Structure 1
Amino acid sequence: MTLNPNIMQAVERLNYRVTVGDVAAEAGLDVNLAQQGLLALASDAEGNLQVAESGEIVYCFPKNFRAILRSKYLRLRLKEWWDAVWKVLFYLIRISFGIILIVSIFLIITAITIILIALNSANQNSDSSRDSDGGMVFIPNFWFSPDIFYIFYPDYYSRRYQRQQPSHFDEKPSMNFLEAVFSFLFGDGNPNADLEERRWKAIGTVIRNNRGAVVAEQIAPYLDDVSTGYDREYESYMLPVLARFNGQPEVSPKGEIIYHFPELQTSASDRGYQSIAAYLKEFPWRFSRASAGQIILAIALGAVNLVGALALGSLLADGTVAAQIGGLVAFVQSIYWVLLGYGTAFLAVPLIRYFWIQWRNRAIATRNEQRQERAIRLNEADEHLQEKIGFAKQYALETIIHEKDLAYTTERDLIEQELEQTNRIDAEWQRRLSQEH
């Protein structure tokens, strides 16, 4: 069985001694999946099982279990190696879009300059009476300033701010310009990529905080679709929660349903009440983490690239120009549609993404408001809901398995443990007999 990284992280956070319920609640995993994953991890990482007299099982792991796994499995070592390599590759991919933009602008302006110089020379040869300055080509100094090369350095903006900004300017962008170009084009990833993980961890924590017995209204602030009409009245939205954490519905004499989760009522340690947000909050999408100055510069360069490409296209409309000049101009003509397409997409993609983000964020705000309203209703519980929560507390239970509660552990010799158990049983009988007399 493939080892689950979420289970390994949960074991580390829980100090390497856990029950199935501990891991299921901490990682927000299905109880059965957590049990299978713990068994696989204990088998591969030299873990031990501790069995309480009540029959509950505690899993104990060495603190260096990751090193043990790495020494056993080449696949894990390769995965860690690939993760390190991918970080470098992805960084190169990110900065490549900025590099392509700069190269595109350089090729376009250079080609335009060469074409204008060539046309100017041709006009001078055909009309010797033309003023020698009439065909002068003005090339902005910006493009040939050595300062342009600083954008390839990660601390480009900090250098520019140090030279140009007042001494009281302290805020610096968290990314260089080449990274900012990628952020401008494609954003910075889904802020809610871990939403499902956060959802189930929150639900597991709520159940543990209530000692394994809850009502639907306590879980609703962490769900998206709580249905309407009869489905909401009959609380069918709780079915996925029951399936994930092996819950059992219980009905009060008044017909109220509460949900009991025996697996989450047993723990290897007393963690106390865990603080948790009142409802699950989705984060709005950001257009870009780049600074305003970086975004403005990216838009400006994108506009220069697009306008330059259109101007170059008009100069290349006569196909004989590139053929006569050859060299770089001929090469640029061969990739002209690539340059024009990149210039168009460079401005079109962020524009489309901007409107998509606005629509996406409105939907996120609506869902957040709905979950917040459910949390408010729970905090302002009426008499009926309070009575329902009170009934759920009848099923609330928390069992902490301490070392003294163990009947057996794989960490020690079986014969030695049986001898200790015999001695303990004899001592308990002697204590009871003395109390009777």
Structure 2
Amino acid sequence: MNRLSVSNTPSGPDLSLVLTALRKARGRATVGDVVAETGLARDEVETSLRSLLETRKGNLEVGETGTLVYRFDPRLIQRDAIPFFARLREGAWQGFTRAFKAWIVLMLLVYFVIFVALIIAALVASQSRGGGRSSGRLGGRRGGIPTFRGFWFWYFFWSPGWGRGRPYYGHRWERRYGSRRGEPKVPFIKKVFAFVFGPDRPKPTQAQNDRSVIRLIRARRGVLTATELVQHSGLPLQAAEEELARLMVTHGGDVEVTKEGVLGYVFPELMVSAKGAVTEREPDPAWRRLEPPEEVTGNDAKANGIVAGINTFNLVAASTAPWFIFPRLGLAGDLVWIGLVWVPLAYSTMFFAVPALRTLAVQRRNRLRRDRNLRKVILGEVFRASLAQGGTQWVSVSGASAHVRKSLTSGKSRGPDAQVGRKRNREPVERYVERTTPDALVGAQLQVLLAEFDGKVEEDTDGSVRYGFPTIVAQLQGAEAIRKGLSLEEQKVGDIVYASDQTEHEGHERDLAAFDRELAGGTDLTHLLPDPGRIAYLDDFELVANA
């Protein structure tokens, strides 16, 4: 096995030379290539390339001879870089959101109070003209104009103890976390904002995003391959390689390359614990991390009904004011029309128009979620077939389609509302499969996986196409061999795989013998496969709820 040495962070000037060399090489180079181009020392170049894996989109490749190749995007794009127009659009939306929220507080609440008062005053005026009993007593206890000074009214819109800027992630979050004993009640104004702009979106830090992967690394004894990260996250294989390259640099990791070309990322520092041997429960795989559908408002039906009712009242009151309120109260003039008709009409119309337009964007994002969820469910079937006891099995389109339908209807799942006793939500995949041709969708996903994992395809006896993924088995077998050789969970040496006094031939024979021991009789990899027929959903806010 070959190991990549660990070095320190590079200096600025040397890094700029390395960047120039990479641009000339269109992002793909070995350490030797960059050394030849820059004239820098090998250790400096290797250090610079490692640091770039953390800040630029890139990953490691292994040549046939075991040589490590650094592969970056030819444009050397920064990780998490956002295009200019996307940032401009996001900034404009945030500015509009802040301004409109302030307008909501003023318009929705104040105009609601004003119109209620004016309608009551108009009714009282009508009764007064007709000889009603409440003549002239607009401020009286019977039929007077309400002042809304009671604490209950303002408590309805804001809750004591709710900190300014605290997020509201929607009704599922409220039921699961926001309704705990001692927690302040979600202010109604937050639900008003959510009605227009949607619930707050969780913004997990990089550390919060990395927690489940770090748990996976520790559960798998400090060694992880990109294939295993795909199994855990559902990421495309190249994205998983880039993510592991970043984690390697961030957490002081390393790489091991077997003679068979399996690239394993090694994290010895994550396997050191004050409690002794590390024992970590493996996090859920991708098919138990499905994404529930994004909701337009995030509110429950009751909250949406109240918000829509208040705005509808304002809309109707403003549109009928010239015929109902103005004549009875003797109101007239341009300012009255502007203040009591045109402004509230424009506001109330926009109040309904914004969520209506957002619905289109939410539907588009939900289609992407459905694609990702379908991929994750199919990954469960692919890994099941690849790691089956008795040898790798073929995956057919019809078999994978049956697996998708069975997984979604078998009841072996945990939905986003499971903790509050609600029926699980299968919307992201189930309706997508029902409305389209399952075999076509599944076949398209299998073709993508075939390309990613360099799989095999052949025609079955009935003329149908079936797929095989031997690379998945080889990757996991290689990872298990590395784990056994390093024994990081115990921080011990394990079997000797290299000695300084051995000849090249002896070292080669030792490596082959070590790998053969792993493959002898067929390595049982079923412990790396959680039940692929059991799906589950993971809400976005789960990443930050317990941070």
Q: Normalising by the residue count of structure 1, what TM-score does the alignment of the two structures yield?
A: 0.48
Higher relative contact order (CA 8 A, sep 6+): 1
Q: Normalising by the residue count of structure 2, what TM-score does the alignment of the two structures yield?
A: 0.40
Task: Flag the structure with larger Rg.
Answer: 1
Larger helix percent: 1
